[in-house]
């Protein structure tokens, strides 16, 4: 085994002494403390023992222990106790004393006095036991370890107070022992001590654990903050001083919104949700919520914006659903379209129009595009081999066939695509096909169909793509998926189907067929706009004036980047084609997928039943928007983000800023006299604001949200450092300072309200009302300007967010399933049977209500007696809830060690 020690390092002393005392066969290596340590955990200047097995011991005491163990000396309770005491009590104090001596040049005597109590402890133990050594009458590992900590500070026994007689005697006999003397001679040479001194000087002084300062301020994540320049500070101060006058007037377009010459005209669509599915959280963040946030941002930038969406209603799935529910397909669509509309209304999605595809405009426009394609020779006719189930008396749509994938032999490949290898499949190519409805074996029948001649359109498509890629903001996944489609080569694609529920094909010989949904559905964007305004062509046949953003999840990319643009290019009617294709990755639920059939996950219609406000959902979904990579919804993370980011950071800042105006300045924004610190803050906030714009212009919605949180963090820090609540009680100068800080803070809150509007519209509105922010300030510029000048009166300020409790979130997790819920609560060993869900829910609500009531009381500084009574009620309710859930009440753990 190899022992590496650094000359001058005090810990080397005990290790060498122990090696000597236990006669351990070590190979000694005098290491240069600055070279790489043996193990990552072993800092320079601390000895390390490399065993023959490769294990490295980095704790000096463990190394000493090992030498004695190797010689057959087992640790006892007493030696353990001394080692633990040395590590936790003596060592920190001895290091501090040594530092004081070497670096601060303190006299030996002073530093020894600082060890007083610890020396007494040794003295008492020696006298009480009446033994020569610490753990008995023979020398043990304990003696070496304690001596090793003391010797560098004491040097010899004469520096010990004479009344510590037993300690003096013990220390002397230790120092005189051969092992210890040799160790001291080799480690503590004068030159080596100087080296150690210079090492210590480069490091912060060791401080005792009890003296450590604790801080509740969040650490700056990025240590290397951009340094502000003089110019930036001056510009920020100028912009601030210009006030509201500098802001452009908010653009309020006439309805219906139409493109305006000379303005930036932004047309936004989100992928049309299929009508007979209730959307889950992943669907919502994937398209409508992302598009909504961006649309709101565009409006705040004074861009002339139209946001349309609607339900995609045609297709086999609707027909089947109608059969199941005994309704007509149209009735099914009416029913589910209303459900969708209601969900999006709850999530506060700001569509200019939410329509549907089963309208007469859809028929007109789809048939027009079809006729133009036909006239220009971009359609082919061919016979198709199609699977027909004779038992069910129908041609089987792709999704009703299952079989073995012809490419990868996956056994449950669908008729249109293999879930395993992702390749698109022609249903007749499936091996061993089965009808999914009756499990019968379908037969292949030949029918005539129409095809879009994609190979003929490929050249035009590529030219357009090249230009759109170069000038637009396509997400990386959208570019990648599109390129791989083109690279694999385009083939003619069938656009007709043997169905009833769809847009009829206006061509003799095909009148009993309808358009295939992938051809038909994207035309819905146009027809939905046509239902909104008869001047729809000013949006959709106007690429010169209009910029088109498509929002979707990544599985929808090829239809929007390859197939639909090919149709429109072929129809050749100056259509507006997508400029920016924004695709998200997938959102998972806890550790798996959302599944309606297994009841796992939160679906759009259930979100409001959780009692969690829509804006909290919006915030959390946008916070973990699968931007660039998949992400997962997690209940505990939701609680954490709500409580840390919204409640403690954002909400806390805005509330304090407003409260200070109310409490200290009678609700009127005070005069502000900016100091250099304030000016730097203005510049810092301006930088964050610019970053926010830069990110949102590239539709990096999730990243831009971080800028908002970052500004409120700066704000909290600013308030914390300047302590307006103290200064308000001081002299004239202090009061003026309190006024300035309050004024700047409330103006930051005012700007945050605007920046937050795309993410949390209701919260933004609440701030607007509380601070009485003038409606004309609801505009986003690139500057942080004073919108609430001195003299502005604010309204009534109240908390914006509520804490989410663990119990509440656990109950929700249970309710909405997920693999972990079962693991989290194994069957309890108590006799209580789990209560009925209704009781649990009742109690959960009561707990939440009572919890909020208690917080309100505390916030309003209610009388202690009253608070105590209500807290007792709350605890009792929580206990009942736990019992109802069949758990034994949990005790909060080891809270004592956490920083407060």
Partner 1 sequence: GVEELALLAKLLGLPRGIKYGVQGERKVPVLQTNNGPGLTGLMTIAAHLVKQAKKDQLLGITAEEKAVVQQWLEYRVTRVDGGTSKEDTTTILKDLNIHLEDKVYLAGNIFTLADILMYYGLHHVMVDLTVQEKEKYLNVSRWFNHIQHYPGVRQHLSNVIFIKNRLYTNAH
> Is the CB of 425 or the CB of 481 nearer to partner 1?
481
247-255, 300-308, 628-636, 717-725 -> range binding partner 1 (CB under 8 A): 628-636
- Residue 19 CB, nearest approach to partner 1 (Å): 13
Secondary structure (DSSP) of 785-826:
---S-TTPBP--------PPPHHHHHHHHHHT--HHHHHHSP
Site string for partner 1, 7-46 (x = CB under 8 A): ---------------------------------xx-----
Question: In 3D, which of 102, 95, 78, 112 has the Cα closest to residue 13?
Answer: 95
66-74, 299-307, 387-395, 721-729 -> range binding partner 1 (CB under 8 A): 66-74
Residue 380 is inside which H or E element, if any? Answer: strand 379-389
Q: Which of 447, 824, 866, 869 binds partner 1 (CB under 8 A)?
A: 824
Q: Which of 109, 215, 383, 393 binds partner 1 (CB under 8 A)?
A: 215
* 237 near partner 1, rule: CB under 8 A: no
> Is the CB of 24 or the CB of 689 nearer to partner 1?
24
CB 37 within 8 A of CB 27: no
Residue 873 is inside which H or E element, if any? Answer: helix 864-884
CB 283 within 8 A of CB 550: no
Which residues pair with residue 401 across a beta bridge?
435
* 210 near partner 1, rule: CB under 8 A: yes
**Can you tell me the distance from the alpha carbon of 634 to that of 624, in angstroms, rounded to the nearest whole number?**
10
Q: Which of 3, 5, 59, 321 binds partner 1 (CB under 8 A)?
A: 59
Structure tokens at 868: 């105590």
- Residue 701 CB, nearest approach to partner 1 (Å): 17
> Is the CB of 210 or the CB of 446 nearer to partner 1?
210
* 886 near partner 1, rule: CB under 8 A: no
Contacts of 245 (CB under 8 A, 6+ apart): none
Q: Which of 23, 51, 189, 721 binds partner 1 (CB under 8 A)?
A: 51
Secondary structure (DSSP) of 715-766:
HHHHHHHH-HHHHTTS-HHHHHHHHHHHHHHHHHHHHHHHHHTTT-HHHHHH
CB 653 within 8 A of CB 712: yes
* 53 near partner 1, rule: CB under 8 A: yes
- As a whole number of Å, the end-to-end CA separation of the chain is 45
* 807 near partner 1, rule: CB under 8 A: no
CA dihedral (853, 856, 857, 858) positive or negative: positive
> Is the CB of 85 or the CB of 532 nearer to partner 1?
85
3-class DSSP state of 549: strand
- Residue 320 CB, nearest approach to partner 1 (Å): 32
* 712 near partner 1, rule: CB under 8 A: no
| Omega before residue 256 within 30° of 0, cis | yes
> Is the CB of 52 or the CB of 508 nearer to partner 1?
52
* 57 near partner 1, rule: CB under 8 A: yes
Residue 244, CB-side half-sphere exposure with 13 Å CA sphere: 15
Look up tokens 């036991």; give the residue: 129
Structure tokens at 516: 């295939």
* 477 near partner 1, rule: CB under 8 A: no
Site for partner 1 in 251-270 (CB under 8 A): none
How big is the CA angle at 455 (ends 449 and 457), to the nearest 5 degrees? Answer: 100
Site for partner 1 in 449-468 (CB under 8 A): none
Look up tokens 């993410």; give the residue: 759
How far from the centroid of its chain's Cα atoms is residue 464's Cα? 36
Helices (H) and strands (E) in the chain, counts: 36, 20
* 634 near partner 1, rule: CB under 8 A: yes
The site for partner 1, by CB under 8 A, has a size of: 58
- Residue 588 CB, nearest approach to partner 1 (Å): 7
> Is the CB of 209 or the CB of 227 nearer to partner 1?
209
* 865 near partner 1, rule: CB under 8 A: no
Site for partner 1 in 106-145 (CB under 8 A): 128
- Residue 24 CB, nearest approach to partner 1 (Å): 11
Secondary structure (DSSP) of 633-697:
E-HHHHHHHIIIIIIIIIIHHHHHHHHHHHHHHTTBPPP----HHHHHHHHHHHHHHHHHHHHHH
- Residue 653 CB, nearest approach to partner 1 (Å): 20
Look up tokens 């010689």; give the residue: 71
Look up tokens 């609440």; give the residue: 766
Phi-psi region of 439 (alpha: psi -120 to 50; beta: other; left: phi over 0): left
- Residue 1 CB, nearest approach to partner 1 (Å): 10
> Is the CB of 585 or the CB of 870 nearer to partner 1?
585
Phi, psi dihedrals of residue 315, rounded to the nearest 5°: 125, 170
> Is the CB of 58 or the CB of 353 nearer to partner 1?
58
- Residue 204 CB, nearest approach to partner 1 (Å): 12
* 716 near partner 1, rule: CB under 8 A: no
- Residue 225 CB, nearest approach to partner 1 (Å): 17
* 371 near partner 1, rule: CB under 8 A: no
* 662 near partner 1, rule: CB under 8 A: no
Q: Which of 591, 609, 836, 868 binds partner 1 (CB under 8 A)?
A: 591
- Residue 205 CB, nearest approach to partner 1 (Å): 15
Q: How many CB atoms lie within 10 A of CB 731?
A: 8
* 83 near partner 1, rule: CB under 8 A: yes
- Residue 12 CB, nearest approach to partner 1 (Å): 17
- Residue 714 CB, nearest approach to partner 1 (Å): 18
* 590 near partner 1, rule: CB under 8 A: yes
- Residue 37 CB, nearest approach to partner 1 (Å): 12
**Can you tell me the distance from the alpha carbon of 681 to that of 696, in angstroms, rounded to the nearest whole number?**
23
3-class DSSP state of 388: strand
Phi, psi dihedrals of residue 369, rounded to the nearest 5°: -60, -40
* 823 near partner 1, rule: CB under 8 A: yes
> Is the CB of 791 or the CB of 892 nearer to partner 1?
892
Q: Which of 631, 649, 742, 747 binds partner 1 (CB under 8 A)?
A: 631
* 830 near partner 1, rule: CB under 8 A: no
- Residue 411 CB, nearest approach to partner 1 (Å): 23
> Is the CB of 861 or the CB of 897 nearer to partner 1?
897
Phi-psi region of 160 (alpha: psi -120 to 50; beta: other; left: phi over 0): beta
* 212 near partner 1, rule: CB under 8 A: yes
Look up tokens 């399933």; give the residue: 817
* 486 near partner 1, rule: CB under 8 A: no
- Residue 174 CB, nearest approach to partner 1 (Å): 22
473 CB-contact burial (10 Å; exposed 0-12 / middle 13-18 / buried 19+): middle
Q: Which of 103, 114, 228, 640 binds partner 1 (CB under 8 A)?
A: 640
Question: In 3D, which of 360, 302, 301 has the Cα closest to residue 330?
Answer: 360
> Is the CB of 70 or the CB of 380 nearer to partner 1?
70
Residue 583 is inside which H or E element, if any? Answer: strand 580-584
Structure tokens at 877: 């309710």
Q: Applying CB under 8 A, which residues contact partner 1?
A: 40-41, 51, 53, 55, 57-59, 61-63, 65-66, 69-70, 75, 77, 80-81, 83-85, 87-88, 91-92, 128, 209-210, 212, 214-215, 219, 588, 590-591, 628-632, 634, 636-637, 640, 820, 823-824, 888, 890-891, 893-899
């Amino acid at each position: 085994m190899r022992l590496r020690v650094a000359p001058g390092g005090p810990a080397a002393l005990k290790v060498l002494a122990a090696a000597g005392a236990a006669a351990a066969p070590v190979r000694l290596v005098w290491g240069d403390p600055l070279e790489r340590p043996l193990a990552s955990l072993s800092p320079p200047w601390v000895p390390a023992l490399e065993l023959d097995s490769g294990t490295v011991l980095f704790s000096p005491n463990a190394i000493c222990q090992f030498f004695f163990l190797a010689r057959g000396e087992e640790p006892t309770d007493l030696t353990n106790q001394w080692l633990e005491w040395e590590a936790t009590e003596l060592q920190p104090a001895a290091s501090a004393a040594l530092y004081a001596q070497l670096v601060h040049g303190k006299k030996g005597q002073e530093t020894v006095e600082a060890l007083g109590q610890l020396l007494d402890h040794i003295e008492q133990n020696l006298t009480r036991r009446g033994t020569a050594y610490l753990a008995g009458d023979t020398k043990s590992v304990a003696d070496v370890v304690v001596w090793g900590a003391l010797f560098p500070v004491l040097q010899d026994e004469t520096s010990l107070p004479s009344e510590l007689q037993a300690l003096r005697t013990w220390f002397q006999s230790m120092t005189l022992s051969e092992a210890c003397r040799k160790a001291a001679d080799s480690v503590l040479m004068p030159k080596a001590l100087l080296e150690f001194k210079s090492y210590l000087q480069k490091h912060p002084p060791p401080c005792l654990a009890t003296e450590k300062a604790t801080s509740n301020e969040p650490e700056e994540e990025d240590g290397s903050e951009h340094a502000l320049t003089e110019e930036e500070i001056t510009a920020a101060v100028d912009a601030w001083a210009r006030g509201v006058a500098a802001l452009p007037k908010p653009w309020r377009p006439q309805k219906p919104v139409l493109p305006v010459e000379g303005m930036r005209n932004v047309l936004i669509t989100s992928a049309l949700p299929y009508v007979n599915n209730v959307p889950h959280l992943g669907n919502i963040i994937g398209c409508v919520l992302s598009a909504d946030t961006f649309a709101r941002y565009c409006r705040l930038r004074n861009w002339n914006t139209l946001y349309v969406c609607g339900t995609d209603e045609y297709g086999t799935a609707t027909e089947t659903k109608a059969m199941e529910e005994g309704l007509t397909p149209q009735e099914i669509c009416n029913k589910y379209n209303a459900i969708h509309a209601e969900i999006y209304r709850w999530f506060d999605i700001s569509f200019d129009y939410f329509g549907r595809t089963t309208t007469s405009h859809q028929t007109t426009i789809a048939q027009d595009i079809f006729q133009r394609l036909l006239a220009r020779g971009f359609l082919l006719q061919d016979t198709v081999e199609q699977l027909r189930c004779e038992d069910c008396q129908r041609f089987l749509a792709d999704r009703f066939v299952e079989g073995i994938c012809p490419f990868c032999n996956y056994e449950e490949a669908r008729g249109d695509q293999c879930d395993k290898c992702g390749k698109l499949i022609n249903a007749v190519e499936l091996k061993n096909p089965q009808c999914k409805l009756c499990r019968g074996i379908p037969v292949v029948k030949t029918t005539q169909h129409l095809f879009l001649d994609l190979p003929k359109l490929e050249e035009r498509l590529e030219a357009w793509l090249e230009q759109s890629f170069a000038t637009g903001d396509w997400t990386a996944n959208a570019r990648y998926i599109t390129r791989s489609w083109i690279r694999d080569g385009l083939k003619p694609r069938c656009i007709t189907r043997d169905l009833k529920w769809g847009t009829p094909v206006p061509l003799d010989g095909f009148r009993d067929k309808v358009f295939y949904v992938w051809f038909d559905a994207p035309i819905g964007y146009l027809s939905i706009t046509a239902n909104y305004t008869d001047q729809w062509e000013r949006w959709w046949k106007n690429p010169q004036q209009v910029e088109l953003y498509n929002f979707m999840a990544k599985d929808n990319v090829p239809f929007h980047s390859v197939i639909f643009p090919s149709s429109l290019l072929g129809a050749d009617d100056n259509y507006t084609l997508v400029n920016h294709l924004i695709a998200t990755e997938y959102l998972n639920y806890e550790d798996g997928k959302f599944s309606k059939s297994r009841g796992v996950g939160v679906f759009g219609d259930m979100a409001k039943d959780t009692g969690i406000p829509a804006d909290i959902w919006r915030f959390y979904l946008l916070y973990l928007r699968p931007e660039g990579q998949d992400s997962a919804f997690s209940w505990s993370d939701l609680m954490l983000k709500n409580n840390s980011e919204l409640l403690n950071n954002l909400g806390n800042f805005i509330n304090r800023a407003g409260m200070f105006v109310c409490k200290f300045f009678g609700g009127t924004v005070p005069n502000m006299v900016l100091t250099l610190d304030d000016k730097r803050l203005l510049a810092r906030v301006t930088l964050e604001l610019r970053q926010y714009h830069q990110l949102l212009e590239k539709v990096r919605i999730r990243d831009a949200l971080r800028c908002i949180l970052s500004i409120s963090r700066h704000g909290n820090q600013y308030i914390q450092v300047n302590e307006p609540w103290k200064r308000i009680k001081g002299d004239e100068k202090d009061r003026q300072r309190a006024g300035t800080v309050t004024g700047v803070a409330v103006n930051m809150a005012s700007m945050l309200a605007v920046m937050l509007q795309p993410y949390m519209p209701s919260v933004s509105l609440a701030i607007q009302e509380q601070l009485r922010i003038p409606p004309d300030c609801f505009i986003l510029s690139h500057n942080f300007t004073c919108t609430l000048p001195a003299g502005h009166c604010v309204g009534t300020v109240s908390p914006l967010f509520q804490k989410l409790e663990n119990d509440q979130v656990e109950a929700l997790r249970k309710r909405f399933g997920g693999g972990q819920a079962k693991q989290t609560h194994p069957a309890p060993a108590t006799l209580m049977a789990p209560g009925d869900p209704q009781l649990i829910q009742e109690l959960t609500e009561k707990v939440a209500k009572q919890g909020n009531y208690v917080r309100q009381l505390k916030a309003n500084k209610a009388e202690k007696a009253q608070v105590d009574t209500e807290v007792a009620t709350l605890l009792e309710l929580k206990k009942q809830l736990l019992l109802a859930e069949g758990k034994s009440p949990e005790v909060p753990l080891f809270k004592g060690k956490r920083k407060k």
